[in-house]
């Protein structure tokens, strides 16, 4: 577990050396070393689970990239540094990556405080910081070396609002949201869109990430008598809220943000998440070829495990990194410029991803309306629940 | 009206859950006067053993409970035998630190064994719900209440009517006297740790089943809430812990009812501070009970500090000052910048905790106050960054001293708990006071450090700047310790009654220490804000407070040079262990334990 990254590195360089030996001496000099990406993210500490999910997505993408011949014949590898999502450590890692000439670009960090504290160092050091889970509206404003494929909440939340209000016909909503920068931004975009679509917001409640008990919150929700509950949550807290809502006898329709899309949501929520609606970027029976390839590859590599949203983000991110490096080569500035040049990179989240050069983000995330039926995520058939 | 009934019921249900941890904590505190920060980790271990039993071995519930209780008791016995017993005769603070180290180690072991992903722990009880008020309760609620109350009752009977129970109480009241009367104190300790750990393990499992979810983050939260409940009830008082837990649950629930969900923990910690200020030994401490801490300063044992010759200090300072001229990487410089920033915080804490004897567990709040003040001054009022950082220091000194002043009458562990609560309160106020602090969105685009119009952005200039600031603060603090002020501080720490008899005003001197300490911490926070360019309520968290305390104890309480050495060591060690990836925090925990074991007075000794 601990040194997948280094093992990948060693394996990568060995394979590259063999490939080089097979061709010519000149090629050997060029392709002996893999092209190295730096990853700053949590492997220990309270967010460790997300770092572990990143690795799964990265490794799958790397397998596919290498099977397809690598980057112009060279291998791609990453060096994962554990930041614990702590800004003090992410800034040290940033200096480490910036001063290491082998690193051509950086991916991460996970939380906004850790990522954005490191941004000035990457910007001044001229190394791309590619944040693929950084939805904070100010992340890419850190400078022209900050790029993000994270779905902007300004894009995602209107889709969820449309699902809840226009499609499910909910008129009076209670919004429960994680009280973080992500949850807060999402809530604001959701509320704005839902009001535009004609719904009334009965109550909004922000809770902290460590919260386990939502019974009293749900009494507040009940007293506001909404006809639908909106969860702007991650899968673990989303499952807790759904369970407790059903336990205290709330029978309203529940509609959740795409971040709950994970097999863990079903496992942790059990019966209670039955009939929960959610918008997602992809789903198991998705006919899109890139999604089919991703899900099949993931299950084959990880003993039948279903991938979730964070696996998909990191898989997409590594593919994007490969596409960028293919154009930009190993020069750090050329890589930054390559972000503006890549077009229509195959992506699980976007279908085809192209950066908007102004905002340095990608627009137009795919959208699918799912519902949990018989313990499975299935495409909503339009039938009221 | 019916809603209030529901809020009350919900409060009691949650209080019920807190009680399970609080009872274990109370038991251990009752005997060894120790707040066991590893109790939450035992709770975590219990939850995962329960998962193995239920999901892998398919044991029926009674057997699951027995397995978990036995395994957790084993863990408790091992902790007592190898983690705490060797520290019996060392400084009072050493076991406290050891439990923090043990909790790191246990949490990491669980995380490495089971992966950090949350897991479902299915309940083994039939899923029937009983209508109660507007909501329902299930059999698990009743089981948890049953376990909580029965264990409290059994413990009460055990302590009051059995021979071993008498021995436990005798040991609690006067360890030496008990030993003279032939009580095998070690056996008593062992029994208590075994019982408390078994209880902790079972409670972790039950709570895991209750939420159908276990993950490695549950440990710290359980400890925090358990400590609050225990202290509210009266530390060391088992029935008090149960009532304290229920009260805590109620206050949280009513807090949510009146102000909304994001204020929930604010009320929990406010309750704690109010109780501590009004009834320092908790709501249910009897008047006859011996004072919770010895009156004279045995909390911090005097030791002979290591004398470092002046020339050696000069050489070291000069070496660090010229370091950037040598070919060192920016990474090394950045790591040392982190060490200097932590060093300023440690200077502040070593003065307050070491010299003054007020062991603070909420010191990160001072960083946060300094950081927000400096960031907002420079962003909204366009104050030059150099002045803004000083403003941050002043604000931190003023506000920090004001906030802490109600707890000036507390002693020993109670100061630590009160400061822990005040630290959490500051962080929650930052989260909720959106008009000023921008809430969870945080403050972005904070300008970089600058001095007299020159931006300090290269690693070299930030390095020199932070090193110089830390050096100036350290020299000032060194002067302070040598003056009559420093002697008065130490006199108060060592014997506050004698100090008062001698005519020293305790509150005034404590305020002075917090003003100076608050300034140093605030400046550190201010510099950090400009260095990071983005801060939010999570940037300066409880882990920072615990890290600072570890630094101070590692360096030697009250020891200025020790605080700096400790900072370099504790920033540097995890970076050195980087190669060990997921194992590094585990290694860090073990190193910490070894240090506490073999050098409890710190590397350079207490001054």
Q: pLDDT at position A154, please?
A: 85
A222 compared with A27, residue with greater pLDDT: A222
Q: Is the CB of residue B555 less than 8 Å from the CB of residue B93?
A: no
Asked if pLDDT for residue B375 goes beyond 70, the answer is yes
Other beta carbons within 10 angstroms of residue B162's beta carbon come to 11
Distance in Å, alpha carbon of A181 to nearest chain B alpha carbon: 4
Between the alpha carbon of residue B255 and those of residues B8, B250, B258, B264, the distances in Å are 11, 8, 5, 6
Asked if pLDDT for residue B310 goes beyond 60, the answer is yes
Q: Is there a contact between A270 and B120 if contact means CB atoms under 8 Å apart?
A: yes
Q: Is the CB of residue B192 less than 8 Å from the CB of residue B275?
A: no
Residue A362 belongs to some domain of the structure: no
Asked if pLDDT for residue B570 goes beyond 90, the answer is no
* Distance in angstroms (rounded) separating the CA atoms of residues B531 and A82: 20
Residue A332 belongs to some domain of the structure: yes
Residue A272 belongs to some domain of the structure: yes
B10 in reach of chain A (CB within 8 A): yes
List the single best residue of A7, A102, A123, A216 to mutate versus B (max B Cβ within 10 A): A216
Q: Is the CB of residue A214 less than 8 Å from the CB of residue A241?
A: yes
Residue range B382-424, pLDDT digits in tens: 899 989 999 999 999 999 999 988 888 887 778 888 898 999 9
Residue range B489-529, pLDDT digits in tens: 888 888 888 888 888 888 888 899 999 999 999 999 999 99
Residue A276 belongs to some domain of the structure: yes
Asked if pLDDT for residue B449 goes beyond 60, the answer is yes
B239 in reach of chain A (CB within 8 A): no
Name the helix (H) or strand (E) containing B136: strand B135-137
Of A25-29, A311-315, B3-7, B168-172, which has the strongest mean pLDDT?
Answer: A311-315
Q: pLDDT at position B493, please?
A: 83
Q: pLDDT at position A30, please?
A: 52
Residues A69 and A116 both lie in one domain? yes
Question: Given the structure tokens 């097999």, which residue do they identify?
Answer: A263
Length of chain B: 607
Of A53, A142, A219, nearest to B7 by CB-CB distance is A219
Which residues are CB-contacts of B577 (< 8 A; sequence separation ≥ 6)?
A: B583, B584, B587, B588
Compute φ and ψ for A299, nearest 5 degrees: -65, -40
Distance in Å, alpha carbon of B72 to nearest chain A alpha carbon: 23
Which string of DSSP letters, residue by residue, matches B447-491? PPPEETTEE--SHHHHHHHHHHHHHHHHHHHHHHHHSHHHHHHHH
Average pLDDT, chain B: 86
Q: pLDDT at position A3, please?
A: 42
Residues A136 and A174 both lie in one domain? no
Secondary structure string (H, E, C) spanning B307-330? CCCHHHHHHHHHHHHHHHHCCCCH
Residues A160 and A145 both lie in one domain? no
Q: Is the CB of residue B414 less than 8 Å from the CB of residue B429?
A: no
Residue A313 belongs to some domain of the structure: yes
B138 compared with A202, residue with greater pLDDT: A202
Q: Which of A88-97, A127-136, B294-303, B595-604 has the lowest mean pLDDT?
A: B294-303
Q: pLDDT at position B17, please?
A: 84
Residue A358 belongs to some domain of the structure: no
Q: Is the CB of residue A184 less than 8 Å from the CB of residue A137?
A: no
B577 in reach of chain A (CB within 8 A): no
Number of domains in chain A: 2
Compute φ and ψ for B571, nearest 5 degrees: -85, -35
Q: pLDDT at position A119, please?
A: 93
CATH number at residue A78: 3.40.50.2300
Q: Is there a contact between A212 and B221 if contact means CB atoms under 8 Å apart?
A: yes
Q: Which residues of A touch B17 (CB under 8 A)?
A: 213
Residue range A295-318, pLDDT digits in tens: 999 999 999 888 988 899 999 999
Among residues A146, A349, A145, A222, the alpha carbon closest in space to that of B2 is found at A222
Residues A270 and A325 both lie in one domain? no
Residue A361 belongs to some domain of the structure: no
- Among all residues of chain A, which has the CA nearest to that of B138? A247
Backbone φ/ψ region at B433: left (φ over 0), alpha (ψ -120 to 50), beta: beta
Among residues A199, A157, A148, A192, the alpha carbon closest in space to that of A317 is found at A148
Residues A31 and A121 both lie in one domain? yes
Q: Which residues of B touch A221 (CB under 8 A)?
A: none
Q: Is there a contact between B582 and A207 if contact means CB atoms under 8 Å apart?
A: no
Other beta carbons within 10 angstroms of residue B311's beta carbon come to 8
Residue range B155-165, pLDDT digits in tens: 888 888 888 88
A140 compared with B574, residue with greater pLDDT: A140
Residues A224 and A299 both lie in one domain? no
- Confidence tier at A385 by pLDDT (50, 70, 90): low
Q: pLDDT at position A301, please?
A: 94
Hey, what are B415's tokens?
Answer: 């100061």
Strand A228-232 to A355-356 pairing: unpaired
Of A110-114, A321-325, B98-102, which has the strongest mean pLDDT?
Answer: A321-325
- Confidence tier at A106 by pLDDT (50, 70, 90): very high
Secondary structure string (H, E, C) spanning chain A? CCCHHHHHHHHHHHHHHHHHHHCCHHHHHHHCCCEEEEEEECCCCCCHHHHHHHHHHHHHHHHHHHHCCCECCECEEEEEEECCCCHHHHHHHHHHHHCCCCEEEEEECCCHHHHHHHHHHHHHHCCCEEECCCCCCCHHHHCCCEEECCCCHHHHHHHHHHHHHHHCCCCEEEEEEECCHHHHHHHHHHHHHHHHCCCEEEEEEEECCCCCCCHHHHHHHHHCCCCEEEEECCHHHHHHHHHHHHHCCCCCEEEECHHHCCHHHHHHHHHHHCCCEEEECCCCCCCCHHHHHHHHHHHHHCCCCCCCHHHHHHHHHHHHHHHHHHHHCCCHHHHHHHHHHCCCEEECCCEEECEECCCCEECCCCCEEEEEECCEEEECCCCCC
**Which DSSP state fits B296?**
B
Q: Is there a contact between B118 and A142 if contact means CB atoms under 8 Å apart?
A: no
What residues are paired with A39 via a beta bridge?
A80, A107
Q: Is there a contact between B534 and A207 if contact means CB atoms under 8 Å apart?
A: no
Residues A328 and A255 both lie in one domain? no
Q: pLDDT at position B373, please?
A: 95
List the single best residue of A10, A39, A44 to mutate versus B (max B Cβ within 10 A): A44
SS3 B162: coil
Asked if pLDDT for residue A1 goes beyond 70, the answer is no
How far is residue B243 CA from its own chain's centroid?
Answer: 23
User: How are strands ordered across the β-sheet holding A253-256?
Assistant: A200-207, A172-178, A228-232, A253-256, A277-280, A368-373, A376-379
Q: ipTM more than 0.90?
A: no
Residue A161 belongs to some domain of the structure: yes
Q: Which residues of B touch A45 (CB under 8 A)?
A: 585
B138 in reach of chain A (CB within 8 A): yes
Q: pLDDT at position B49, please?
A: 94
Residues A374 and A249 both lie in one domain? yes
- Domain, as residue range, for A265: 153-280+368-379
**A219 half-sphere exposure, CB direction, 13 A CA radius:** 27
Residues A372 and A246 both lie in one domain? yes
Residue range A131-157, pLDDT digits in tens: 998 888 889 988 999 999 988 888 889
Q: What is the mean pLDDT of residues B250-259?
A: 90
Residues A43 and A108 both lie in one domain? yes
Residues A212 and A115 both lie in one domain? no
Name the helix (H) or strand (E) containing B398: helix B385-404
Residues A128 and A255 both lie in one domain? no
B142 in reach of chain A (CB within 8 A): no
Residue range A45-101, pLDDT digits in tens: 878 888 989 999 999 999 999 999 888 888 999 999 999 888 989 999 999 999 899
B135 in reach of chain A (CB within 8 A): yes
Q: Is the CB of residue B604 less than 8 Å from the CB of residue B308?
A: yes
* Distance in angstroms (rounded) separating the CA atoms of residues A47 and A207: 17
* Distance in angstroms (rounded) separating the CA atoms of residues A138 and B4: 42
> The pTM is what?
0.87
B113 compared with B288, residue with greater pLDDT: B113
Distance in Å, alpha carbon of A160 to nearest chain B alpha carbon: 21
């Amino acid at each position: 577990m601990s040194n997948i990254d280094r093992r990948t590195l060693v394996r990568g360089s060995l394979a590259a050396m063999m490939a080089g030996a097979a061709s010519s001496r000149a090629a050997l000099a060029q392709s002996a070393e893999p092209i190295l990406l730096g990853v700053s993210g949590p492997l220990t500490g309270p967010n460790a689970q997300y770092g572990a999910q990143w690795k799964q997505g990265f490794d799958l993408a790397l397998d596919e990239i290498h099977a397809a011949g690598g980057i112009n014949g060279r291998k791609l590898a990453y060096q994962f540094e554990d930041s614990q999502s702590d800004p003090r450590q992410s800034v040290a890692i940033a200096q480490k990556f910036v001063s290491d000439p082998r690193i051509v670009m950086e991916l991460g960090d996970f939380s906004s405080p850790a990522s954005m504290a490191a941004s000035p160092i990457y910007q001044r050091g001229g190394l791309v910081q590619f944040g693929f889970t950084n939805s904070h509206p100010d992340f890419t404003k850190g400078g022209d070396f900050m790029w993000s494929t994270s779905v902007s909440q300004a894009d995602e939340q209107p889709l969820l609002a449309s699902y809840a209000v226009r499609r499910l016909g909910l008129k009076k909503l209670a919004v429960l949201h994680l009280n973080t920068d992500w949850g807060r931004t999402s809530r604001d975009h959701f509320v704005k869109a839902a009001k535009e679509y004609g719904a009334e917001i009965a109550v909004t409640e922000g809770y902290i990430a460590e919260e386990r008990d939502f019974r009293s919150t749900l009494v507040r929700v009940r007293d506001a008598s909404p006809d639908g509950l909106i969860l702007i949550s991650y899968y673990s807290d989303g499952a807790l809220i759904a369970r407790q809502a059903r336990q205290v006898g709330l029978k309203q329709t529940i509609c959740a943000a795409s971040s709950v899309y994970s097999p863990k949501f079903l496992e942790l929520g059990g019966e209670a998440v039955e009939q929960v609606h959610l918008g997602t970027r992809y789903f198991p029976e998705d006919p899109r070829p890139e999604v089919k390839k991703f899900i099949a590859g993931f299950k084959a590599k990880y003993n039948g495990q279903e991938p979730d949203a964070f696996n998909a983000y990191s898989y997409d991110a590594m593919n994007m990194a490969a596409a960028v490096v293919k154009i930009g080569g190993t020069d750090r500035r050329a890589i930054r410029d390559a972000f503006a040049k890549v077009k229509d990179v195959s992506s699980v989240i976007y279908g085809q991803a192209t950066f908007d050069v102004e905002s340095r983000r990608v627009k137009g995330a795919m959208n699918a309306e799912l519902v949990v039926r018989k313990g499975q995520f299935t495409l909503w058939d339009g039938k009221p629940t | 009206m019916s809603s209030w009934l529901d809020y009350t019921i919900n409060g009691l249900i949650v209080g019920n859950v807190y009680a399970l941890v609080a009872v274990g904590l109370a038991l251990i505190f009752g005997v060894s006067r120790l707040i066991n920060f590893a109790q939450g980790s035992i709770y975590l271990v219990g939850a995962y053993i329960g998962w193995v039993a239920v999901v892998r071995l398919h044991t029926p519930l009674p057997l699951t409970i027995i397995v978990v209780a036995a395994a957790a008791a084993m863990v408790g016995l091992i902790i007592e035998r190898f983690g705490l017993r060797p520290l019996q005769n060392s400084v009072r603070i050493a076991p406290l630190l050891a439990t923090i180290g043990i909790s790191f180690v246990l949490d990491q072991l669980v995380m490495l064994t089971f992966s950090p992903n949350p897991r479902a722990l299915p309940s083994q009880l039939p899923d029937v719900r009983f209508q109660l008020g507007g909501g329902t309760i299930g059999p698990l609620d009743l089981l948890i209440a049953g376990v909580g109350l029965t264990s409290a009752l059994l413990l009460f009977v055990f302590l009051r009517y059995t021979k071993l129970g008498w021995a436990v109480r005798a040991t609690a009241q006067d360890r030496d006297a008990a030993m003279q009367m032939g009580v095998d104190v070690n056996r008593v300790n062992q029994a208590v740790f075994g019982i408390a750990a078994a209880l902790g393990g079972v409670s972790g499992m039950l709570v895991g089943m209750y939420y159908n979810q276990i993950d490695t983050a549950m440990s710290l939260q359980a400890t925090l809430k358990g400590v609050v409940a225990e202290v509210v009830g009266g530390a060391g008082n088992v029935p008090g812990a149960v009532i304290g837990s229920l009260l805590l649950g109620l206050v949280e629930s009513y807090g949510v009812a009146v102000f909304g969900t994001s204020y929930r923990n604010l009320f929990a910690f406010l309750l704690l501070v109010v109780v501590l200020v009004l009834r320092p030994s908790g709501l249910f401490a009897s008047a006859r009970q011996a004072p919770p801490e010895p009156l004279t300063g045995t909390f911090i044992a005097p030791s002979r500090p290591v004398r470092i010759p002046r020339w050696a200090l000069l050489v070291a300072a000069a070496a660090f000052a010229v370091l950037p001229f040598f070919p060192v990487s920016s990474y090394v410089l950045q790591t040392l910048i982190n060490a200097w920033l932590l060093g300023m915080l440690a200077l502040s804490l070593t003065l307050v905790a070491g010299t003054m004897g007020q062991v603070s567990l909420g010191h990160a709040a001072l960083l946060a106050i300094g950081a927000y003040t400096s960031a907002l001054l420079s962003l909204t009022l366009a104050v030059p960054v150099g002045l803004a950082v000083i403003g941050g220091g002043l604000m931190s000194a003023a506000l920090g001293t004001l906030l802490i002043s109600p707890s000036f009458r507390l002693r020993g562990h109670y100061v630590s708990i009160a400061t822990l609560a005040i630290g959490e309160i500051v962080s929650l106020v930052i989260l909720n006071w959106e008009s000023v602090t921008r809430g969870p969105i945080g403050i972005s685009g904070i300008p970089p450090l600058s001095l007299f119009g020159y931006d300090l952005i290269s690693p070299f200039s930030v390095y020199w700047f932070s090193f110089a600031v830390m050096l100036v603060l350290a020299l000032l603090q060194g002067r302070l310790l040598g003056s009559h002020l420093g002697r008065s501080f130490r006199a108060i720490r060592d014997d506050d009654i004698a100090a008062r008899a001698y005519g020293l005003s305790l509150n005034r001197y404590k305020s002075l220490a917090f003003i100076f300490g608050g300034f140093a911490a605030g400046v550190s926070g201010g510099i950090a804000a400009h260095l990071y360019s983005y801060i939010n309520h999570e940037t300066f968290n409880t882990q920072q407070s615990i890290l600072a305390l570890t630094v101070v104890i590692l360096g030697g309480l009250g020891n200025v040079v020790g605080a700096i050495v400790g900072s370099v060591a504790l920033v540097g060690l995890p970076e050195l262990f980087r190669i060990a990836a997921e194992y590094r925090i585990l290694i860090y925990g073990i190193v910490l334990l070894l240090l506490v074991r073999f050098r409890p007075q710190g590397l350079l000794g207490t001054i």
